[in-house]
Amino acid sequence: MDNFVVSARKYRPSEFDSVVGQSHITTTLKNAIKSGHLAQAFLFCGPRGVGKTTCARILAKTINCENLSPEVEPCNACASCTAFNAQGALNITELDAASNNSVEDIRNLIEQVRYPPQHGKRKVYIIDEVHMLSNQAFNAFLKTLEEPPAYAIFILATTEKHKIIPTILSRCQIFDFNRIQVKDIAVQLQYIASREGIEAEPDALHLIAQKADGALRDALSIFDLMVTFAPDRILRYKSVVQNLHVLDHDYYFRLTDSFLAEDRSAVMLLFDDVLRLGFDAQNFLIGLSDHFRNLLMCKESATVHLLEVSDGVRASYIQQCKMLSASFLLSAMSLTNDCEQQYKSSKHQRFLVEICLLKITHLPSAFQVRNSIEELKKKVELSTHSTPSTPAQKAPNSSANTEGAALKSTGGKLLKPGDYSEILKSLPDKPSTIAEPIEAPPLSPENLCRLWEEFMKENNTSPGAMNFVPPFNVESPQSVIIELKSLGEENVYNQHKNKLLPAFRNKFRLPKLELRIEIKAQAPIQTARPYTQTDKINFLSDKYPDFKAFIDRFDLKGE
């Protein structure tokens, strides 16, 4: 136990060719060493665990090697390489800026730079986590970084490039390190497992590589942990899944099969199993979205390589994607994405996910019904075009009639996924949605008035407009005159004329029917003059004889 060394240290690269996944960096550095065009300040940027500090140490070792190989690799035999391998190289100084970030620390470093190397060619200063330096320390470092002695080289490493002041960036050659590909990590893990005498399933190593998220150091730490969990020194996929608490791909494959079978019970039970195992529902949604995405990528041979999974899992994806349409996968991805966005704000999160899963389960029926209805519509259109000489016209709302006929043939019951295929077989050659010819009513004033009343009831809520029915005069078989009496009636007509004319043409089967209006003003109403006293007496005398006798007797006539 005392001699145990973690894999991240034991298998740390000691030369450029052994660095994993950073060939663009190592090739550039080797060419610079070979041509003698080495900068005096380097800045290595990138995520954690991708080899920044490792490359800095290899660069420092290679620069001071006394017998470089033709491939620009250190010999590991000279005094400088031996001292470096024994961690006793005096020409290489490492500073952790996370704990030495003050101005005084940088001044001590600058003081050391003044002294030339006693052995070797160059003195190399590696400052790790350089973004942790204070602004005062950066400013104290500027002059030395810009004009260092000819024998001094600075290598700065950071995971947060944006925190470094621009004046430091402008004085360095910047190298951006990439996240290491899953397949490269898996290959390195396989190499280490074989060196350690550990039997490992490829899927298990691939899962560890995925979990590391592009960091080889994290992958090696997980690898050591999984080996500790395996007393027989055999890494099995199932044990790695269990120990890492990762949701197995098998759950998503089984869930997708249940979606295709529209088995709601199986879907709900699988989701319940996931929750009982302690997995977060939101992480489950993210994994399901990734599963649908991988299936969609497998639909085209050009995009299969985008799957970062093992060969065995890739074969399962390719097999399952053959049973799924791109429309299904896109709709399912949209549903899971919407559910994920609403998850945090939902007060009933499990119910939200269950509704999403049930919607996905219903997708096959929805697509089948849609396709069946489209096929029915095509049959109707083909039947219509195949009998152009028949005066019959297609009944309005043929889509609704088609669906209604289909429902009627099933006795009004809810359609199941296979019902439409049976309906299609039972349909006659000439669909029932082709209506028999309807005889048009004659063009007469009575029918025109009746149609006017029906139209106003359907299109106008004003009682005055509904009660107004103008006289109609049939001028010719294609022309009708509407007699209006006032500007108010003309306004009512103008308000509805754009809908009225098509209604008249459709009712009487006259596509060229024209409507004309004529305004016939009423005779002017004579304004009556006010009644005088004599008029009133004469009116009452004519109407009541006794009143006339009374007036005559007492001679009461007068103005």
The residue-averaged pLDDT of 94-119 equals 85
pLDDT higher than 80, residue 108: yes
DSSP string, 225-236: HHHHH-TTSEE-
pLDDT (tens digit per residue) in 407-428: 444 444 444 445 545 555 554 4
Position 185, amino acid: I
Q: Residue 353: what pLDDT?
A: 92
Q: What is the mean pLDDT of the chain?
A: 80
Contact (CB, 8 A) for 283 and 246: no
The residue-averaged pLDDT of 161-186 equals 88
DSSP string, 163-194: GS-HHHHTTSEEEEPPPPPHHHHHHHHHHHHH
Q: Residue 358: what pLDDT?
A: 92
pLDDT (tens digit per residue) in 296-341: 998 888 888 888 777 778 888 888 888 888 888 999 999 999 998 8
Half-sphere exposure in the Cβ direction for 294 (13 Å, CA): 22
Closest among 16, 14, 3 to 82, alpha carbons compared: 14
The residue-averaged pLDDT of 361-376 equals 77
Per-residue burial over 12-50, b = 16 or more CB atoms within 10 Å of its CB, e = otherwise: bbbbbeebbbbeebbeebbebbeeeeeebbbbbbbeebb
Q: Above pLDDT 90, what percent of the chain?
A: 7
Residue 390's pLDDT band, with cuts at 50, 70 and 90, is very low
The residue-averaged pLDDT of 179-200 equals 88
Closest among 238, 335, 237, 252 to 290, alpha carbons compared: 252
Ordered domains of the chain (ranges, CATH): 7-176 (3.40.50.300), 182-244 (1.10.8.60), 249-365 (1.20.272.10), 445-519 (3.30.300), 528-559 (no CATH)
The count of other CB atoms within 10 Å of the CB of residue 555 is 7
Here the tokens at position 202 are 């490829």
Half-sphere exposure in the Cβ direction for 110 (13 Å, CA): 18
Q: Above pLDDT 70, what percent of the chain?
A: 84
pLDDT (tens digit per residue) in 18-27: 888 888 888 8
Taking the model in full, what pTM does it have?
Answer: 0.58
pLDDT (tens digit per residue) in 461-517: 555 555 677 888 888 888 888 888 777 777 777 777 778 888 888 888 888 888 888
Cα distance between residue 542 and residue 544, in whole Å: 6
